[in-house]
Amino acid sequence: MSGSTEGLELRSTATADGRLRLTLEPVALGEPGPDEVIVRLEAAPINPSDLGLLLGPADMATLRAEGTADRPELVADIPPHLLRAVAGRLGQSLAVGNEGAGTVVQAGENVRDLLGRKVAMVGGGMFAQYRKIHARACIPLPEGASAADGAGMFVNPLTALGFVETMKAEGHTAIVHTAAASNLGQMLNRICQADGIALVNIVRSEAQAAILKGIGARYVIDSGAEDFQARLVEAIAETGATIGFDAIGGGKLASHILNAMEAAALRKAGSYSIYGNNSAKQVYIYGALDTGPTVLNRAFGLSWGLGGWLLTNFLQKIGPDAARLRQRVADELHTTFASHYSTVIGLAEALRPEIVTAYQKKATGEKYLIDPTR
């Protein structure tokens, strides 16, 4: 191929008049630099972490198709009181898609060996036909792996491994995880089983509980059950979990976890202290399935922490040690880190109202993959 590579990119634009617009923009990629490659995208998962940028705070009830058959557009309204939340992106045409995989079709002079290889990539802008990217952000896929196999090699696997690394770095020995039947949650179960780490899974339905029990999870608790808090205390007391990772964010779940950790610690406590038990208790919020306020009933003393957890911050903190994690993902791509996609769509389909409605639900067991070659 020559330097004339041109392709469509999915773009998301929020405007001051309260519209969110998804479009497919033709982009000329130009020549790759000496350390860059141009990759033809063949698979890119729609992760929960993509949806915030893709759809912003738009009202899903107002989704409508506009544009033409050749150049489809999707439009939705942003409620006026939520416009402030996207002030930083108004008027900007933003590329979307954290990760993907495909075939290297052009390569700079220093990275010619990658030409023709299938690679996985991380770095944004992956909902596109082509992506120009630094070779450092690519991992050649192992022999026999398809683009779909490698498309989700970064976000979920490194997040799940990041939870375990964070647990160890901060001196904890067992984990509580919410929204635990997700693709990520299932990976975390496989990692913890392999590594002998106790994991308390919190789910929101019996169907989700069944999924996890089916893959061998030992502690699975339904937050909708009447005896939820009592069972949570029991599981935490048994496992000694003093760190939690919460995908939900809003509501009282983080508070329930901290209070259960405190109650479990007090069972073993000696003398009474007005300041609560002095064991460290930590919950990290890494998602926002509920964007409402986080409400803490602080009956858990003064030895506690709540915070945000973001993969890019974690990777920055561990630095070169990330290579070890990436290698494990590559080694266990078809086992621990296997992703299952329920539906494969083309780039234009990602703009169809009924399909957007389906994938933005983030329903357990439903995971969408974009194949831009369709």
Residues that bind its own copies (CB under 8 A): 52-53, 85, 88-89, 92, 94, 249-250, 255, 266, 269, 272, 274-276, 278, 285-286, 288, 291, 293-310, 312-313
Which residue, 173 or 278, has its beta carbon nearer to its own copies? 278
Q: Which residues have C-beta within 8 Å of that of residue 275, sequence separation ≥ 6?
A: 301, 302, 303
Residue 248, token pair as written in the block: 């939900």
Minimum distance from residue 69 beta carbon to its own copies (Å) = 30
Tokens 């990041």 locate to 162
Minimum distance from residue 328 beta carbon to its own copies (Å): 24
The CB density around residue 180, as the number of other CB atoms within 10 Å, is 30
CB of 216 to its own copies, least distance (A): 31
Please choose, from the candidates 176, 117, 173, 179, the residue with its C-alpha nearest in 3D space to the C-alpha of residue 150: 117
3 state DSSP class of 178:
strand
CA geometry: angle 172, 178, 181, nearest 5 deg: 120
The H or E element containing residue 27 is strand 19-28
Query: Which residue, 61 or 274, has its beta carbon nearer to its own copies?
Result: 274
- Our CB check for its own copies shows the closer of 42 and 50 to be 50
Least gap, CB of 47 to its own copies (angstroms) = 12
Which residue, 142 or 292, has its beta carbon nearer to its own copies?
Answer: 292
Q: How far is the CB of 293 from its own copies (least distance, A)?
A: 5
Nearest distance in Å: CB 94, its own copies = 7
Alpha-carbon gap, residue 44 to 88, rounded angstroms: 26
CB of 254 to its own copies, least distance (A): 9
d(CA 126, CA 137): 12
Q: Considering only CA atoms, which of 232, 162, 166 is closest in space to residue 201?
A: 232
User: Token digits for 347?
Assistant: 């780039």
Q: Give 316 or 327: the residue with its C-beta nearer to its own copies.
A: 316
Closest CA to 256 of 236, 270, 239, 240: 236
Measured at the CA of 367, the angle between CA 363 and CA 372, to 5 degrees, comes to: 140
Q: For residue 100, count other CB atoms closer than 10 A to its CB.
A: 31
CA distance 269 to 273: 10
Instruction: Specify whether the CB–CB gap between 106 and 33 falls below 8 A.
Output: no
**Minimum gap (Å) between residue 310 Cβ and its own copies:** 4
Give the pairing type, strands 304-308 and 281-285: parallel
CB nearer to its own copies: pick between 156 and 255: 255
Q: Which is nearer to its own copies, 79 or 142 (CB)?
A: 79
For its own copies, which is the closer residue by CB, 228 or 309?
309
User: Shortest distance, CB of residue 373 to its own copies, whole angstroms?
Assistant: 27
Nearer to its own copies, 234 or 332 (CB): 234
Stated as kind and residue range, the H or E segment containing 186 is helix 183-195
